[in-house]
Amino acid sequence: MDRTQLSLNTITVRSLPIDRVIELAESHGLGGIAPWRHQLADAGVEHVAKLARAAGLRVSSLCRGGMFTAPDAGGRAVAVQENRRAIDEAAALGADCLVLVCGPVVGKDVPGSWQMVADGIAAVADEAAAAGVRLAIEPLHPMMAADRSVVSRSEKAIDLHEDTGPGVGVIVDAYHVWWDVTLADAIRRAGSRIAGVHVSDWVSPLTGGLLAGRGMIGDGTIDLTGLVSRCRSAGYSGLVEVEILSDRWWAADPELTLTTLIDRFERCI
Protein backbone atom coordinates (compact mmCIF):
# COMPACT_ATOMS: atom_id res chain seq x y z
CA MET A 1 0.00 0.00 0.00
CA ASP A 2 1.24 3.45 -0.93
CA ARG A 3 2.82 5.57 1.83
CA THR A 4 0.32 8.36 1.26
CA GLN A 5 -2.12 6.00 3.02
CA LEU A 6 0.20 5.69 6.03
CA SER A 7 -0.33 7.61 9.24
CA LEU A 8 2.50 7.43 11.73
CA ASN A 9 1.37 6.88 15.30
CA THR A 10 3.94 9.00 17.04
CA ILE A 11 4.51 6.60 19.95
CA THR A 12 6.38 4.45 17.40
CA VAL A 13 9.25 6.96 17.39
CA ARG A 14 8.69 8.27 20.89
CA SER A 15 12.24 9.52 21.47
CA LEU A 16 11.73 12.24 18.84
CA PRO A 17 10.08 15.56 19.64
CA ILE A 18 6.76 15.99 17.87
CA ASP A 19 8.07 18.81 15.68
CA ARG A 20 10.72 16.48 14.29
CA VAL A 21 8.17 13.69 13.76
CA ILE A 22 6.04 16.06 11.70
CA GLU A 23 9.08 17.16 9.68
CA LEU A 24 10.01 13.54 8.95
CA ALA A 25 6.44 12.52 8.11
CA GLU A 26 6.27 15.36 5.60
CA SER A 27 9.68 14.72 4.06
CA HIS A 28 8.90 11.00 3.64
CA GLY A 29 5.58 11.79 1.95
CA LEU A 30 3.33 10.18 4.56
CA GLY A 31 -0.39 10.84 4.72
CA GLY A 32 -0.67 11.74 8.38
CA ILE A 33 0.26 11.39 12.00
CA ALA A 34 -1.50 10.25 15.16
CA PRO A 35 -0.14 11.99 18.27
CA TRP A 36 -0.59 11.11 21.93
CA ARG A 37 -1.99 13.59 24.40
CA HIS A 38 1.14 13.89 26.53
CA GLN A 39 3.01 15.12 23.44
CA LEU A 40 0.41 17.83 22.97
CA ALA A 41 0.77 18.80 26.60
CA ASP A 42 4.50 19.26 26.04
CA ALA A 43 4.34 21.04 22.68
CA GLY A 44 0.94 22.76 22.83
CA VAL A 45 -2.08 21.57 20.89
CA GLU A 46 -2.40 24.66 18.71
CA HIS A 47 1.28 24.47 17.82
CA VAL A 48 1.00 20.82 16.75
CA ALA A 49 -2.22 21.49 14.83
CA LYS A 50 -0.58 24.34 12.95
CA LEU A 51 2.55 22.36 12.10
CA ALA A 52 0.57 19.35 10.88
CA ARG A 53 -1.65 21.54 8.71
CA ALA A 54 1.32 23.38 7.24
CA ALA A 55 2.96 20.03 6.44
CA GLY A 56 -0.19 18.82 4.67
CA LEU A 57 -0.60 15.96 7.13
CA ARG A 58 -3.91 14.59 8.30
CA VAL A 59 -4.31 13.72 11.96
CA SER A 60 -5.82 10.25 11.78
CA SER A 61 -6.51 10.03 15.51
CA LEU A 62 -5.68 11.40 18.90
CA CYS A 63 -4.53 8.88 21.49
CA ARG A 64 -6.37 8.70 23.79
CA GLY A 65 -9.56 9.18 25.77
CA GLY A 66 -11.53 6.59 27.68
CA MET A 67 -10.58 5.04 31.04
CA PHE A 68 -14.21 5.37 32.09
CA THR A 69 -14.20 2.70 34.78
CA ALA A 70 -13.59 3.57 38.43
CA PRO A 71 -14.68 2.08 41.76
CA ASP A 72 -16.80 5.10 42.71
CA ALA A 73 -18.95 7.76 41.09
CA GLY A 74 -16.43 10.49 41.88
CA GLY A 75 -13.72 8.68 39.94
CA ARG A 76 -16.04 8.15 36.99
CA ALA A 77 -16.96 11.85 36.96
CA VAL A 78 -13.27 12.78 36.87
CA ALA A 79 -12.85 10.45 33.89
CA VAL A 80 -15.73 12.14 32.06
CA GLN A 81 -14.12 15.54 32.65
CA GLU A 82 -10.81 14.29 31.31
CA ASN A 83 -12.57 13.01 28.20
CA ARG A 84 -14.09 16.45 27.67
CA ARG A 85 -10.56 17.89 27.59
CA ALA A 86 -9.47 15.18 25.14
CA ILE A 87 -12.45 15.99 22.88
CA ASP A 88 -11.45 19.66 22.85
CA GLU A 89 -7.89 18.72 21.88
CA ALA A 90 -9.08 16.37 19.13
CA ALA A 91 -11.30 19.14 17.77
CA ALA A 92 -8.41 21.63 17.80
CA LEU A 93 -6.29 19.14 15.86
CA GLY A 94 -9.04 18.35 13.38
CA ALA A 95 -8.39 14.67 14.21
CA ASP A 96 -10.39 12.04 12.35
CA CYS A 97 -11.26 10.44 15.71
CA LEU A 98 -10.49 10.25 19.41
CA VAL A 99 -9.37 6.74 20.35
CA LEU A 100 -11.04 5.37 23.46
CA VAL A 101 -9.13 2.88 25.59
CA CYS A 102 -12.17 2.14 27.65
CA GLY A 103 -10.84 1.29 31.12
CA PRO A 104 -10.04 -1.86 33.10
CA VAL A 105 -12.32 -4.19 35.00
CA VAL A 106 -13.07 -2.80 38.44
CA GLY A 107 -14.59 -4.56 41.47
CA LYS A 108 -14.10 -7.97 39.83
CA ASP A 109 -17.25 -7.13 37.86
CA VAL A 110 -16.92 -7.55 34.10
CA PRO A 111 -20.54 -6.75 33.12
CA GLY A 112 -20.63 -3.85 35.59
CA SER A 113 -17.43 -2.46 34.11
CA TRP A 114 -18.88 -2.68 30.60
CA GLN A 115 -21.85 -0.67 31.86
CA MET A 116 -19.51 2.00 33.25
CA VAL A 117 -17.90 2.25 29.82
CA ALA A 118 -21.29 2.58 28.12
CA ASP A 119 -22.34 5.25 30.62
CA GLY A 120 -19.06 7.14 30.23
CA ILE A 121 -19.30 7.21 26.45
CA ALA A 122 -22.95 8.25 26.60
CA ALA A 123 -21.99 11.11 28.95
CA VAL A 124 -19.69 12.70 26.36
CA ALA A 125 -21.16 11.50 23.05
CA ASP A 126 -23.28 14.60 22.42
CA GLU A 127 -20.43 16.97 23.22
CA ALA A 128 -18.13 15.04 20.92
CA ALA A 129 -20.68 15.19 18.11
CA ALA A 130 -21.18 18.94 18.65
CA ALA A 131 -17.40 19.44 18.48
CA GLY A 132 -17.20 17.37 15.29
CA VAL A 133 -15.11 14.68 17.00
CA ARG A 134 -15.76 11.04 16.29
CA LEU A 135 -15.28 8.80 19.32
CA ALA A 136 -13.71 5.46 18.45
CA ILE A 137 -13.82 2.46 20.77
CA GLU A 138 -10.62 0.42 20.52
CA PRO A 139 -11.02 -3.17 21.69
CA LEU A 140 -7.77 -4.30 23.33
CA HIS A 141 -6.23 -7.73 23.70
CA PRO A 142 -8.08 -9.62 26.48
CA MET A 143 -4.88 -9.93 28.51
CA MET A 144 -5.19 -6.16 29.05
CA ALA A 145 -8.68 -6.41 30.58
CA ALA A 146 -7.33 -6.05 34.13
CA ASP A 147 -5.25 -2.95 33.54
CA ARG A 148 -6.45 -1.13 30.42
CA SER A 149 -9.69 -2.18 28.79
CA VAL A 150 -12.58 -4.45 29.64
CA VAL A 151 -13.60 -4.07 25.98
CA SER A 152 -11.69 -6.73 24.16
CA ARG A 153 -13.74 -8.22 21.35
CA SER A 154 -14.58 -6.38 18.15
CA GLU A 155 -18.01 -7.93 17.95
CA LYS A 156 -18.90 -6.76 21.46
CA ALA A 157 -17.39 -3.32 20.80
CA ILE A 158 -19.76 -2.90 17.87
CA ASP A 159 -22.66 -3.72 20.20
CA LEU A 160 -21.33 -1.12 22.61
CA HIS A 161 -21.31 1.37 19.75
CA GLU A 162 -24.96 0.56 19.12
CA ASP A 163 -25.76 1.25 22.77
CA THR A 164 -23.96 4.56 22.80
CA GLY A 165 -25.00 6.29 19.62
CA PRO A 166 -24.45 6.52 15.89
CA GLY A 167 -21.53 8.94 16.11
CA VAL A 168 -19.34 6.39 17.85
CA GLY A 169 -17.05 4.18 15.80
CA VAL A 170 -14.61 1.34 16.41
CA ILE A 171 -10.89 0.96 15.83
CA VAL A 172 -9.53 -2.23 14.33
CA ASP A 173 -6.04 -2.60 15.84
CA ALA A 174 -4.47 -5.70 14.34
CA TYR A 175 -2.31 -6.44 17.38
CA HIS A 176 -5.33 -6.56 19.67
CA VAL A 177 -7.88 -8.46 17.60
CA TRP A 178 -6.06 -10.58 15.01
CA TRP A 179 -6.58 -13.83 16.96
CA ASP A 180 -10.38 -13.55 16.92
CA VAL A 181 -11.92 -16.15 14.61
CA THR A 182 -15.00 -13.93 14.20
CA LEU A 183 -12.92 -10.90 13.15
CA ALA A 184 -13.80 -11.00 9.44
CA ASP A 185 -17.51 -11.04 10.28
CA ALA A 186 -17.05 -8.26 12.82
CA ILE A 187 -15.27 -6.08 10.24
CA ARG A 188 -18.05 -6.68 7.72
CA ARG A 189 -20.67 -5.86 10.31
CA ALA A 190 -18.84 -2.76 11.49
CA GLY A 191 -18.78 -1.35 7.94
CA SER A 192 -18.74 2.44 7.96
CA ARG A 193 -18.45 2.43 11.75
CA ILE A 194 -14.75 1.54 11.38
CA ALA A 195 -13.08 4.78 12.45
CA GLY A 196 -9.47 3.67 12.24
CA VAL A 197 -7.15 0.78 11.38
CA HIS A 198 -3.91 0.27 13.33
CA VAL A 199 -1.15 -2.07 12.18
CA SER A 200 1.84 -3.75 13.80
CA ASP A 201 2.68 -7.43 14.04
CA TRP A 202 2.62 -10.22 16.63
CA VAL A 203 6.06 -11.76 17.05
CA SER A 204 6.19 -14.87 19.19
CA PRO A 205 7.51 -15.14 21.85
CA LEU A 206 6.67 -11.59 22.90
CA THR A 207 9.62 -9.64 24.17
CA GLY A 208 8.98 -6.53 26.26
CA GLY A 209 5.64 -7.87 27.48
CA LEU A 210 2.26 -7.27 25.93
CA LEU A 211 2.44 -3.48 26.10
CA ALA A 212 5.86 -3.00 24.51
CA GLY A 213 6.14 -6.25 22.56
CA ARG A 214 4.70 -5.26 19.22
CA GLY A 215 6.48 -6.43 16.13
CA MET A 216 7.45 -4.63 12.93
CA ILE A 217 5.01 -5.07 10.05
CA GLY A 218 5.82 -8.32 8.26
CA ASP A 219 7.85 -9.88 11.07
CA GLY A 220 5.04 -11.85 12.69
CA THR A 221 1.88 -13.93 12.53
CA ILE A 222 -0.82 -11.46 11.53
CA ASP A 223 -2.36 -11.44 8.06
CA LEU A 224 -2.13 -7.66 7.80
CA THR A 225 -2.79 -7.59 4.06
CA GLY A 226 -6.04 -9.48 4.59
CA LEU A 227 -7.07 -7.42 7.59
CA VAL A 228 -6.55 -4.06 5.90
CA SER A 229 -8.18 -5.19 2.67
CA ARG A 230 -11.22 -6.47 4.59
CA CYS A 231 -11.51 -3.08 6.31
CA ARG A 232 -11.30 -1.34 2.92
CA SER A 233 -13.97 -3.66 1.48
CA ALA A 234 -16.18 -2.90 4.49
CA GLY A 235 -16.02 0.80 3.59
CA TYR A 236 -13.11 2.20 5.58
CA SER A 237 -11.35 4.79 3.45
CA GLY A 238 -9.18 6.60 6.02
CA LEU A 239 -5.46 6.36 6.65
CA VAL A 240 -3.88 3.20 8.05
CA GLU A 241 -1.97 3.92 11.25
CA VAL A 242 1.32 2.24 12.02
CA GLU A 243 1.49 1.91 15.79
CA ILE A 244 4.46 -0.06 17.10
CA LEU A 245 4.99 0.06 20.85
CA SER A 246 8.20 -1.90 21.07
CA ASP A 247 11.19 -1.98 23.37
CA ARG A 248 13.18 -3.32 20.46
CA TRP A 249 12.28 -0.56 18.00
CA TRP A 250 12.40 2.16 20.65
CA ALA A 251 16.02 1.17 21.24
CA ALA A 252 16.83 1.58 17.54
CA ASP A 253 17.62 4.81 15.70
CA PRO A 254 14.11 6.31 15.21
CA GLU A 255 14.88 7.27 11.63
CA LEU A 256 15.77 3.63 10.91
CA THR A 257 12.51 2.57 12.56
CA LEU A 258 10.67 5.02 10.30
CA THR A 259 12.30 3.99 7.03
CA THR A 260 11.84 0.31 7.93
CA LEU A 261 8.16 0.66 8.67
CA ILE A 262 7.54 2.67 5.49
CA ASP A 263 9.27 0.00 3.43
CA ARG A 264 7.30 -2.80 5.10
CA PHE A 265 4.04 -0.87 4.74
CA GLU A 266 4.62 -0.55 1.01
CA ARG A 267 5.69 -4.15 0.55
CA CYS A 268 3.51 -6.07 3.02
CA ILE A 269 0.15 -4.31 3.17
Which residues are at the interface with Zn ion (CB under 5 A)?
173, 198, 243
Q: Which is nearer to Zn ion, 76 or 214 (CB)?
A: 214
Query: What is the rounded (10 degree) CA torsion for 114, 117, 121, 124?
Result: 150
Q: Which is nearer to Zn ion, 198 or 230 (CB)?
A: 198
Q: How far is the CB of 178 from Zn ion (least distance, A)?
A: 12
Partnered with residue 99 across adjacent β-strands are 63, 136
CB under 8 Å to 222, separation ≥6 — which residues?
174, 175, 178, 201, 202
Q: Which is nearer to Zn ion, 101 or 116 (CB)?
A: 101
Per DSSP (E only), the strands in 26-177 are 32-34, 58-59, 62-66, 98-101, 135-137, 169-173
Question: Is the bond preceding 264 in cis, omega lying within 30 degrees of 0?
Answer: no
Q: Which is nearer to Zn ion, 141 or 198 (CB)?
A: 198
Q: Which is nearer to Zn ion, 76 or 176 (CB)?
A: 176
Asked if residues 131 and 91 have their Cβ atoms less than 8 Å apart, the reply is yes
Q: How far is the CB of 228 from Zn ion (least distance, A)?
A: 14
Q: How far is the CB of 161 from Zn ion (least distance, A)?
A: 17
Q: How far is the CB of 114 from Zn ion (least distance, A)?
A: 20
DSSP state of 107: T
- At 244, the amino acid letter reads I
Q: How far is the CB of 146 from Zn ion (least distance, A)?
A: 18
